[in-house]
């Protein structure tokens, strides 16, 4: 089912099925998350009989996974009989890490990636290293090793308690 900032009309009985299918489409950069967990699916709409329109918001402009996600959505829906699919790019409002589902946050933590802890209300906060809870031991003491992790949306940290390195999904 849709999450924060997503539109569920309930006007077509096929809509829940499409949401469920989209919940199986993995994010190519963080495959433990579905695109629904990530909060990038904005709407599912039916028109003209069998045409389904899926609104997607990229996590940020220039995200290298955007085209792979579009292709995965088309393939997942086509495999289940939805051949007439339109992908709509929804840019406003821009995606926020606050749109990650509670399940998505838990999946990140279980996978060893610290989920975003607090929204960035001011761009000035981007320059400081926020305190981040270690996804392995739960300690709050950590240090940022690099602003850039394995993907542009993550930073690399180390826990000062268990000394394990981990990625942190940045607040956007």
Q: What is the pLDDT of residues 63-80, one digit of tens each?
A: 889 999 999 999 999 999
Q: What is the DSSP string of 12-41?
A: STTHHHHHHHHTTPBPSSSTTSBHHHHT-E
Distance in angstroms (rounded) separating the CA atoms of residues 114 and 5: 23
Asked if the 15-97 domain carries CATH number 3.30.300.130, the reply is: yes
- Whether the CB-CB separation of 156 and 144 falls below 8 Å is answered with yes
Q: What is the pLDDT of residues 23-36, one digit of tens each?
A: 999 999 999 999 99
List where CATH 3.30.300.130 sits in the chain: 15-97
Alpha-carbon dihedral 145, 39, 140, 170, rounded to 10 degrees: 20
Mean pLDDT for 126-154 is: 86
The confidence band for 124, taking pLDDT boundaries of 50, 70 and 90, is low
Between 49 and 93, name the one with better pLDDT: 93
């Amino acid at each position: 089912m849709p999450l924060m900032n997503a539109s569920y009309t309930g006007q077509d009985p096929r809509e829940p099925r499409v949401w469920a299918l989209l919940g199986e489409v993995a994010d190519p950069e963080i495959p433990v998350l579905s695109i629904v967990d990530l909060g990038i699916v904005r709407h599912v709409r039916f028109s003209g009989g069998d045409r389904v329109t899926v609104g997607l918001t990229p996590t940020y402009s220039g995200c290298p996974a955007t085209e792979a996600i579009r292709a995965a959505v088309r393939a997942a829906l086509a495999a289940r009989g939805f051949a007439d699919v339109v992908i709509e790019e929804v840019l406003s409002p821009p995606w926020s890490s606050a749109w990650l589902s509670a399940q998505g946050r838990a999946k990140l933590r279980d996978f060893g990636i610290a989920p975003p802890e607090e929204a960035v209300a001011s761009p000035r906060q981007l320059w400081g290293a926020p305190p981040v809870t270690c996804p392995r031991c739960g300690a709050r003491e950590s240090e940022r090793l690099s602003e850039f992790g394995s993907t542009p949306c993550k930073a690399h940290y180390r826990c000062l308690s268990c000394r394990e390195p981990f990625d942190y999904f940045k607040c956007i």
